[in-house]
Amino acid sequence: GTCRGKDSPFLRSHFLPGRLLSALFSTQKRERENIHSEKMRISSTAVMSVALSATLAKSTKAFGMGVSRTARRGIPLAMVSTATESTDAAPADAPSNPLLDQAGLPRFASIEPSHLTPAVTDLLAKLDADFASLEEKLSSSASASASDFDDVLPAVERIQSPLGYVWGVAGHLNGVKNGDELREAYEKNQPGVVQAMTRFSQSRPLYDALKGIEASWEASSASESGDDDFYTNQKRRAVEGNLRSMTLGGVGLEGERKERFNEMRMRLAELSTKFGNNVLDATKAYGLTIEDPAEVEGVPASARAMWAQAYKMHAMSENPDGDEPNVDAEKGPWRITLDGPSYVAVLSHLPNREYREKVYRAYLTRASEMGDEAKNNVPLINEILKIKNEMSAMLGFENYAEQSLAQKMAPSPEAVAELTDLIADRALPAAAKELEEITALARERGGDEYSEDNLEKLMPWDTTFWSERLKETKFDLTEEELRPYFALPAVLDGMFGLVRRIFDVEVVAADGEAEVWHPDVRFFNVKDASTGKRIASFYLDPFSRPADKRGGAWMDVCIGKSEACDRDVPVAYLTCNGSPPVGDTPSLMTFREVETLFHEFGHGLQHMLTEASVGDVAGINGVEWDAVELPSQFMENWCYDKPTVYGFARHHETGEPLPEEMFEKLKEQKTYGAGMMACRQLYFGQLDMELHSSYDPEGDETIFDV
């Protein structure tokens, strides 16, 4: 799911005190690892870098803060104003600062980093005054024990809305349009936002009012809180979730313990932002140039074209006033980067073993002690783990893993371990057999380089390459043969046709109705197919941009449905890092990229088609993190449904449908490499749990000993 692989968030709080704090961590949203390295058997030392990116960057989002959906992957639950149709031209009476113009969709084309500080400064002052007034009301003797839901949580939503809008937009741009000025503005304002939101999560008047509401419901008649009352149950779940989130946010702490807790919370926000920035910087700083055509022999044409385009773009950025470089996809030069599609192509298809190793090691050691010391995340990881241990202890938990599960369906670390062991017992034998087959093929076809005398076992940079060769041998089908049938425009049409068929909604292109942050971004409206009424909208940012966009794929909330804020048209961000168009050729997707798009759209649909009206539980909000993947996995499965696939799988030049024998082979490939993939994911999960349960960051062992 979206939570697989790197940068997937470890904990998200969907409820009020954590709601706006979730936007603090928009550098790690709901996302999937957009590379095929699940086919690799990764050594424990090498995988540590990936696992740390996967589990530690995201795991700083805790203690009621929530996350904005990468990790996977969380969701900035920004409380924004009523969603209306937006055009490129702002209304005549719109505020001069576009971040303060909250009458509709964000004015992305107008927003500059310089707008952030004045907007946050103004809104923090307003929030402080408004919440002080609410706390005074809640503390009064007349209302302390008789608060009504409609006087509490809706009021807080309205108070948080303006700042949540601004910080949510800033967090989103930090992930898709990252730059030095925006980083500086974001980091400058982050402490003030953390402090303000901490006030919500630790407000005793608010907590006592919610406890009073809960107690009154418990004493009420069944007719007022019956299981068949959907609206009442929304309110009950919202109150329960907020109380739990506030408890984890330190509402019960006092004095020096509370002061120390809040200092650590502030530091975690700082560390999380720095961690993500370091990974992004290390990713975009790397480049490997290849000039000899013999070194890329056998590499698919799409990969060579992508690398040639990367070389051209890099050369022009280095010398913007110079002549356009002469680059040819067949003759080179080519530039390999650590961007997802480029990295996947290297490990899957580049025959030069030395180059594969270089790129693999560069990717796995991004932002580590093996690179720029100023961008080294290892000290940050140690500090993150120490802080989280201390905060968990303050809250009465044995460890952070136990604290994290307090907001999940899994009841305990022991239950997680039991399930992990159960899956491992079944996956390990399959993985061993798969690796044996891959190794045998490498020995047979790889020459002396892969003989037992010269290579005791395949290395991590070998397994994906030879796994691809074995798959081609088994199924007589290559990714390159499939790509021409999966042009992005056709895939979108097919996906939209599917949702009309199963959900009775129509997705209509609405480019130009909303400002966007990059020319590649599309905007769509979702309408009730029966009435034509607009019920939701979404942005789609489909292609990789390693210079300013972080890797992976994620769904994020732009506007959430909320009765309190008079918002009934939710809006989503869908972000992928797919293969970009090359020249006049449209984006030709790998099948994995098709699955990723369907997956993220599944998350988007849960957000956009929600019937709940209480903001805290509308859409994805309030769904436990280990249950939230159901809609996305549901949508992924349609990628193997024949009528659905033939709704979009046609050759981008000839219009011919995907040959039936290719579709049958595609279905047969579905479980190829499943054993190794499962073991890889189990490794990440086990490492995550180990680091956050039994590992002592102040002991003799280091994270690399785990």
The Cα-based distances of 101 to 51, 75, 115, 460, 581 in angstroms read: 40, 22, 11, 51, 34
Longest C-alpha distance within the chain, in Å? 85
Q: Please calculate the CA angle 389-391-393 and round it to the nearest 5 degrees.
A: 70
Half-sphere exposure of 167 (CA within 13 A, CB side): 35
Q: Is 462 exposed, middle or buried (0-12, 13-18, 19+ CB in 10 A)?
A: buried
What is the amino acid identity at position 40? M
Residues 6 or more apart in contact with residue 157 via CB below 8 angstroms? 16, 79, 562, 564, 565, 615
Looking only at the bridges linking them, the beta strands covering 571-578 and 534-543 are: parallel
What b/e sequence results for 220-252 when a residue is b if at least 16 CB atoms lie within 10 Å of its CB, and e otherwise? eeeeebeeeeeebbbbbbbbbbbbbbbbbbbbb
Q: Given the residues 600, 690, 698, 701, select the one marked as catalytic.
A: 600
Q: Please calculate the CA angle 526-532-536 and round it to the nearest 5 degrees.
A: 25
d(CA 86, CA 97): 16
Half-sphere exposure of 585 (CA within 13 A, CB side): 17
Residues 6 or more apart in contact with residue 517 via CB below 8 angstroms? 108, 109, 173, 176, 177, 541
Backbone phi, then psi, for 22, in 5-degree steps?
-60, -35
Q: Are 377 and 342 in contact (CB under 8 A)?
A: no
Beta bridge partners of residue 524, listed in sequence order: 509, 538
Q: Are 335 and 319 in contact (CB under 8 A)?
A: no
Question: Is 600 a known active-site residue?
Answer: yes
Which of the residues are catalytic? 600
